[in-house]
Amino acid sequence: MIIDNEIKLDFKDVLIRPKRSNISSRSQVDLEREFKFKHGSSIIWKGVPIMISNMDTTGTFEMAEAVYKHKLFTCIHKHYLVFDWKKFYKGTLDKDIFNYIAISCGSKEEDIHKIRIIMNEIPDIKFICVDVANGYSEYFTSVIIKLRLEFPDKVIIAGNVVTREMTEELLIKGADIVKVGIGPGSVCTTRKQTGVGYPQLSAIIECADAAHGLNGHIIADGGCTNPGDFAKAFGGGADFVMSGGIFAGHDESGGELIEINGKKYKEFYGMSSKTAMDKHSGGVANYRSSEGKRVLLTYKGSVNDTILDILGGIRSSCSYVGAPFLKNLSKCTTFIRVSQQLNEVYGKS
């Protein structure tokens, strides 16, 4: 047994120090980034590098259409059928949206077989998100190797991991972008059920450093509770930031709309929750426990206002530290460790 005594940080442990800046208005800040990828090298991506989680309560086609207007990216959840994808493709006149969506799968052969069929029907799909709760198994790496051979021109997203050595391993074996985060999610109970995890800001800083040395990219996945957390994730070196909870509860989100005593709520649950397993896998298998929970969120209407709020917050962060482009935010960031973030004398909102 080994104890690592180095302090690891979460978003709540730091603030970003303001710096002199020659940006006179946050409207001058450009949040778009352009990326070339390590393996899927002919693809150049330009947009706002915020991703919607591939959960069936957030990564919907309706969400993709709404966030595409702001050039955000959606990882479409894996439970759509071939038929649903064909219908979406047929009904979408502006095929540029395929630069802003990924098809998702797990590591099981049946999942991969399904994306093979869908991608055969829709060659416009350029991004594949291979998502498992634990990206550390040798089997998972072998799946990434196989997918890279089968889809040499696509951008492969793989995860989740939280440490530098596994980030490097996945990039070397064929991933372009590594998804980083174990346990920080708003409806995740992995840390409670297993005791496993890694403070998210440190995971981002360490995995970004490992990835960038190999011309790879990372997604900071999970744990953002407000626009400031997105800014901290980018400041820590994340190329993309993914969120579920912030995009849940809207018209475009999945999950049932429920009315209780005249007030509207939307259902949101983890993809390893009992609710999700009952829905998609015929219940929780005897050998495992659920690692996610279900919550009811106050219904928030259209996702548009939420997007503007996040983008406005990040633009402001950039202007506080003198970063005219999102690309500069990381090098303009100095984190200070704090013991208190917010004044909550009038509540938490």
Q: How far apart are CA 68 and CA 84, in angstroms?
A: 19
CB of 42 to ligand 5GP, least distance (A): 27
> Does 273 engage in binding with ligand 5GP (CB under 6 A)?
yes
DSSP state of 23: -
Q: How far apart are CA 260 and CA 59, in angstroms?
A: 25
Of the candidate residues 74, 104, 141, 190, the single one contacting ligand 5GP (CB under 6 A): 190
Sign of CA pseudo-dihedral 280, 283, 288, 290: positive
Whether 194 sits among the annotated catalytic residues: the reply is no
Binders in 290-329 for ligand 5GP, by CB under 6 A: 291-292
Is residue 1 exposed (0-12), middle (13-18) or buried (19+ Cβ within 10 Å)?
Answer: exposed
Binders in 9-48 for ligand 5GP, by CB under 6 A: none
Whether the Cβ atoms of residue 50 and residue 268 lie closer than 8 Å to each other: no
CB of 293 to ligand 5GP, least distance (A): 7
Q: Calculate the alpha carbon distances from 206 to 72, 84, 260 in Å.
A: 25, 38, 44
> Does 207 engage in binding with ligand 5GP (CB under 6 A)?
no
Region of 21-29, 32-40, 218-226, 257-265 interacting with ligand 5GP (CB under 6 A) = 218-226
> Does 57 engage in binding with ligand 5GP (CB under 6 A)?
no
Whether 188 sits among the annotated catalytic residues: the reply is yes
Question: Could you tell me where the DSSP H helices lie in the chain?
Answer: 61-68, 82-91, 109-121, 138-150, 164-173, 190-194, 200-212, 227-235, 274-280, 304-321, 329-332
Q: How far apart are CA 230 and CA 243, in angstroms?
A: 9
Options 188, 207, 318, 332, the catalytic residue: 188
Please spell the DSSP secondary structure of 79-90, one letter per residue.
Answer: T--HHHHHHHHH
Of the candidate residues 47, 135, 216, 222, the single one contacting ligand 5GP (CB under 6 A): 222
> Does 221 engage in binding with ligand 5GP (CB under 6 A)?
yes
> Does 53 engage in binding with ligand 5GP (CB under 6 A)?
yes
CB of 185 to ligand 5GP, least distance (A): 3
Options 190, 275, 306, 333, the catalytic residue: 190
> Does 271 engage in binding with ligand 5GP (CB under 6 A)?
yes
Of the candidate residues 29, 103, 132, 188, the single one contacting ligand 5GP (CB under 6 A): 188
Whether the Cβ atoms of residue 272 and residue 251 lie closer than 8 Å to each other: no
Of 58 and 330, the one with the shorter C-beta distance to ligand 5GP is: 58
> Does 119 engage in binding with ligand 5GP (CB under 6 A)?
no
Q: How far apart are CA 75 and CA 266, in angstroms?
A: 20
Region of 231-239, 266-274, 302-310, 314-322 interacting with ligand 5GP (CB under 6 A) = 266-274
Whether the Cβ atoms of residue 259 and residue 298 lie closer than 8 Å to each other: no
> Does 272 engage in binding with ligand 5GP (CB under 6 A)?
yes
Angle at 225 between CA 161 and CA 44, to 5 degrees: 55
How many angstroms separate the first and last alpha carbons of the chain? 42
Of 236 and 270, the one with the shorter C-beta distance to ligand 5GP is: 270
Closest CA to 161 of 144, 148, 146: 144
Residue 122 dihedral angles phi and psi, to the nearest 5°: -125, 80
Chain Cα centroid distance, residue 5: 29
Of the candidate residues 47, 174, 236, 245, the single one contacting ligand 5GP (CB under 6 A): 245
CB of 25 to ligand 5GP, least distance (A): 30
Q: Which two tokens stand for residue 87?
A: 């219908």
Of the candidate residues 74, 167, 186, 330, the single one contacting ligand 5GP (CB under 6 A): 186
Binders in 121-160 for ligand 5GP, by CB under 6 A: 133, 160
CB of 93 to ligand 5GP, least distance (A): 29
Binding site for ligand 5GP (CB under 6 A): 53, 55, 133, 160, 181, 185-188, 190, 221-224, 242-245, 270-273, 291-292
Which active-site residues does the annotation give?
Answer: 188, 190
